[in-house]
Amino acid sequence: MNQASYIVDVDQNNVHEIIQLSLKVPVLLDFWATWCQPCKALAPVLEKLANEYQGRFVLAKVDTDANPTLSQQLGVRSIPALKLVVKGQLAGELNGAQPESEIRRLLEPFVGAAPEQQEPEEEGDEFTIQIQRARAMGAFDQALQALQSAIKEQPKTLEYQVLMADVLMDMDRLEDARQVLDNIQDEKIKATAVGRLFFLVELQGFETAESLQYRVASNDKDVEARYFLAANCVLAGEYDAAMELLLQVITLDRTFKEDGGRKALLKVFDMLGVSDPRVAPYRRRLFTSLH
Q: How does residue 113 score in pLDDT terms, banded at 50, 70 and 90?
A: low
| Annotation marks residue 233 as catalytic | no
- Catalytic, out of 18, 27, 39, 111: 39
pLDDT higher for 286 or 135? 286
pLDDT higher for 291 or 33? 33
Residues 101, 133, single domain; the answer is: no
Query: 25 CB contacts (<8 Å, ≥6 apart)?
Result: 55, 56, 57, 58
Given a cut of 90, is residue 262 above it in pLDDT? Answer: yes
Indicate which CATH number applies to the domain containing 31: 3.40.30.10
Residues 101, 73, single domain; the answer is: yes
Q: Are strands 89-95 and 7-10 parallel, antiparallel or unpaired?
A: unpaired
Q: How does residue 3 score in pLDDT terms, banded at 50, 70 and 90?
A: very low
Query: 135 CB contacts (<8 Å, ≥6 apart)?
Result: 143, 166, 167, 170
Q: How does residue 201 score in pLDDT terms, banded at 50, 70 and 90?
A: very high
Residues 141, 237, single domain; the answer is: no
Residues 45-88: tens digit of each pLDDT = 898 888 888 888 999 999 999 999 988 888 888 888 999 999 88
pLDDT higher for 6 or 159? 159
Residues 82, 140, single domain; the answer is: no
The whole domain housing 94 covers 3-112
Q: What is the Cα–Cα distance from 206 to 98, expressed in whole angstroms?
A: 18
pLDDT higher for 98 or 273? 273
Residue 191 counted as domain residue = no
Given a cut of 70, is residue 122 above it in pLDDT? Answer: no
Q: How does residue 205 score in pLDDT terms, banded at 50, 70 and 90?
A: confident
Would you call 194 helix, strand, or coil by DSSP? helix
Q: Are 224 and 256 in contact (CB under 8 A)?
A: yes
Q: Which residue type occupies 103?
A: I
pLDDT higher for 271 or 218? 271
Count of domains observed in the chain: 3
Average pLDDT across the chain, whole number? 88
Q: What is the pTM of this model?
A: 0.62
Q: What is the Cα–Cα distance from 154 to 160, expressed in whole angstroms?
A: 9
Residues 219, 274, single domain; the answer is: yes
Residue 237 counted as domain residue = yes
Residues 231, 256, single domain; the answer is: yes
- Catalytic, out of 10, 29, 36, 106: 36
Residues 86, 160, single domain; the answer is: no
